[in-house]
């Protein structure tokens, strides 16, 4: 068999193994760090701080937090057996507003789907406990699947969760001072900017 014929057979075998399509690109811990540094983008709002806040590690372990909080305990139980992967978080805040961004990388898209669903329920559970939920529904045009949560409490908050392959992202914007009324649009603009960074590779 000639060298070119061997190469042709190898190509056919490889194409048959993956169904003739390219494998889905998976995100890494380095990607999570890069996406977590996307500064809030909220057209029409006052400028955000240039740099995120320095965050101190929690005084309590996840196990200690779960023992005190049944909502968080239920979240951890749903993810039992799923590798934790990597997580990055950043927070921007001034006297009027807060922007919080969390990026999780799971081993597989299937794990990320489970994490995405559990994260949605966790956020809604906390929102219902500490505020008033005005919207909780799926949204289009963001990642492979996405969901929005609007809450009123001491301010007005909007949270977008979405999954892209093995990546799960939460972008939260909260106005507790002077800022434009449409917090939902502001949070969506930031979510779109983060997802654009993810799609850019």
Residue 200 CA to residue 74 CA, distance in Å, equals: 35
pLDDT in the model for residue 57: 66
Nearest to 101 by CA among 150, 39, 8, 147: 39
Parallel, antiparallel, or unpaired for β 86-93 and 97-105? antiparallel
Q: For residue 10, is pLDDT > 90?
A: no
Percent of the chain with pLDDT over 70: 86
Predicted TM-score of the model (pTM): 0.83
pLDDT at 11: 29
Mean pLDDT score of the chain: 85
**Mean of the pLDDT values across residues 61-90?**
89
Domain 25-199 architecture: 3-Layer(aba) Sandwich (3.40)
Q: For 112-132, how does the pLDDT look when each residue is reduced to its tens digit (9 = 90+)?
A: 999 999 999 999 999 998 888
Q: Which of 186, 105, 103, 195 is nearest to 142 (CA)?
A: 195
Backbone angles phi, psi at 146, to 5 degrees: -150, 160
At which residue do the structure tokens 């999954």 appear? 163
């Amino acid at each position: 068999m000639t060298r070119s014929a061997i190469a042709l057979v190898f190509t056919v075998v490889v194409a048959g193994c993956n169904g003739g399509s390219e494998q889905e690109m998976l995100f890494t811990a380095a990607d999570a760090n890069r996406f977590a540094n996307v500064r809030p983008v909220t057209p029409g709002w006052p400028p955000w701080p240039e740099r995120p806040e320095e965050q101190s590690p929690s005084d309590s372990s996840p196990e200690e937090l779960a023992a005190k909080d049944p909502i968080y305990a239920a979240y951890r139980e749903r993810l039992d057996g799923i590798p934790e992967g990597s997580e990055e978080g950043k927070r921007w805040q001034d006297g009027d507003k807060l922007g919080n961004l969390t990026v999780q990388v799971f081993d597989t898209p299937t794990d990320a789907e489970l994490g995405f669903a559990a994260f949605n329920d966790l956020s809604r559970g906390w929102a219902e406990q500490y505020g008033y939920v005005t919207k909780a529904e799926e949204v289009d045009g963001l990642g492979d699947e996405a969901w929005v949560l609007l809450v009123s409490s001491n301010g007005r908050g909007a949270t977008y969760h979405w999954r892209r392959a093995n990546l799960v992202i939460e972008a939260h914007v909260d106005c507790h001072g002077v800022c434009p009324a449409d917090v939902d649009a502001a949070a969506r603009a930031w979510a779109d900017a983060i997802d654009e960074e993810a799609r850019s590779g």
